[in-house]
A and B are shown apart, each in its own frame.
Chain A
Amino acid sequence: MSRDGDSGTSESDRVLVAEYALGLLDAAEHAALARRLAAEPGLAAELRLWQVRLSSLDDEFAEAKPPAGAWPEIDRRLFGSPPGLVGWWNSLPLWRALAATGLSVALVAMVFNLLQPPRLDPRAFADQLVATLNEQARMSASSRSSIRQPAASGSPGSPARRHRTRTSNCGRSRGRLPPFRWA
């Protein structure tokens, strides 16, 4: 094994590194040398020399676009796939279209729903309305004297004021359902 003075790397190691750089080693040899390369700077320098020199050969490659079917074919070779399923199950356009359709249906439904005026069941509404009005009527009837009076006059205690209020109440209560008219 001849030794080279300047780097101290044996000839067999140099060949090994050259084979590594060319990709000629099998997996086990490659892994073993990779470990040595990490630990031995002399070997690493040797590898760098090969890589730098060989890299000028890279220019012999022109950049080329891979054919359209390359990726699916690689996928198929690496992972395989049931030929029947691959057609539609892995079809991106199909799932995109489905997602877009679903989303637009959801949006349309949502907007449509928001634009609809609230739908009322007339009977239930009538019941509710009557109940509310009755409640209001009851409340205002019971509180008219206590709430209205102070608000209506600066001098709640004045007899004249009380009289006028009462008169107006009498006038309003002539209808058949007096409380409704205040609503």
Chain B
Amino acid sequence: MRRAKIADAAPTPEQASIERSERGRIEGCLGALEPDKADCVRGAYLDGFSYEELALRHKVPLNTMRTWLRRSLIKLRECLSA
């Protein structure tokens, strides 16, 4: 019964247009991160690097890379929704 009331997750036209207009924001937010952390985010998204590969490239332990990247993602998320 409750299930029928759950809203469609697809964006409404209004949402879609807002999202489009705010697309450019990520560049600014990545710029607000430390350069090598921003590099990690780009590397993960654009080059498909895994945590292991990123750790290897930046010469840090795997767990350090995980912590770095997760913190960066939280910062990025805050910036994106600000």
Contact = CB atoms under 8 A, between A and B. Distances in A.
A24 interface: yes
B20 to A, nearest CB: 8
A24 B50 contact: yes
A59 to B, nearest CB: 9
B1 interface: no
B44 interface: yes
Interface size class of B (residues with CB under 8 A): 20 to 34
B23 A19 contact: no
B34 to A, nearest CB: 17
Given A15-B70, A41-B7, A49-B81, A56 B50 contact: no
A45 interface: yes
Interface in B1-29: 6-7, 9, 11, 19-20, 22-27, 29
Interface string B54-82: 00000000000000011001101100110
Interface string A35-79: 000000100110011101111110011000000000000000000
